[in-house]
Amino acid sequence: PYFIAPIFSLILALLLWQLYPSLYSTSYFKWGILFFLCVSGLNVYGTLLAGWSSNSKYALLGSLRAIAQTISYEVSMALVLLFPLFLVGSFSFFEVGESQESIWLSFLMLPVSFIWFVTCVAETNRAPFDFAEGESELVSGFSIEYGSAGFALIFLAEYANILVMSLFSSILFFGGSYMFFFESDIMFMLKILFFAFLFIWVRGSYPRFR
């Protein structure tokens, strides 16, 4: 289990990218949002497996704190997703993106989109929601006993989750490739990069926002 946990976490992070080819295809996966919730909910098992198999109290406590945080914010993520689901009437990322051709959902539900961003920050263990890696009492949390390839795979999974959350944030609330009746794949990529920058900026500047 000690060696399987980092691989399992990375596989789950990459599994969500299977939805990407169907985002702008007529043969879209109509249950994409439900699939997203199911796979993202499995992340707790990789974290628990890493902490338990490390045979360290620091790693076990860090994994339990990370799981408590992830489960609690999974609830808020599911509740936030109900808003675009009921408004569009579909579980498909393709149809949610297509419905924002004229106006982004973030303009219609600005507080909800802000709650979504905060939830995404918590889901990816970024500051100020990084208490699972408390330096004063847990050192590096559930990954304390990992080094070299195992450590690299855990953080590859974390940053892959950042990119995939940036991808779905731009589709759900910021129109995907649409920019006020104008459609562009370049605009879509710029939105993803912007959200990824926000995740890294929050981690680098907290608690001293300037």
Domain ranges for the chain, please list them: 3-204
* CB within 8 Å of 22: residues ≥ 6 apart: 28, 29, 32, 93, 94
Q: What is the mean pLDDT of residues 122-140?
A: 67
User: What is the rounded distance in angstroms from the CA atom of residue 121 to the CA atom of residue 209?
Assistant: 16
How is residue 1 written in tokens?
């289990």
178 beta partners: 183
Q: What CA–CA distances, in Å, run from 168 to 77, 96, 129, 197?
A: 12, 10, 20, 15
Amino acid identity, residue 189?
M
Report residue 132's pLDDT band, with 50, 70 and 90 as the boundaries: low
- In the prediction, which pLDDT does 206 show? 64
pTM over 0.75: yes
Are the C-beta atoms of 51 and 133 separated by less than 8 Å? no
* Alpha helix segments (H runs only) across the chain: 4-15, 32-41, 43-53, 57-88, 93-98, 105-108, 110-123, 148-173, 185-205
How is residue 132 written in tokens?
């699972």
Question: Around 139, how many Cα atoms within 13 Å sit in the side-chain half-sphere?
Answer: 11
Please determine, for residue 208, whether its predicted confidence score (pLDDT) is greater than 60.
no
Q: What is the mean pLDDT of residues 75-83?
A: 89
Q: What is the mean pLDDT of residues 142-169?
A: 85
Average pLDDT, the chain: 81
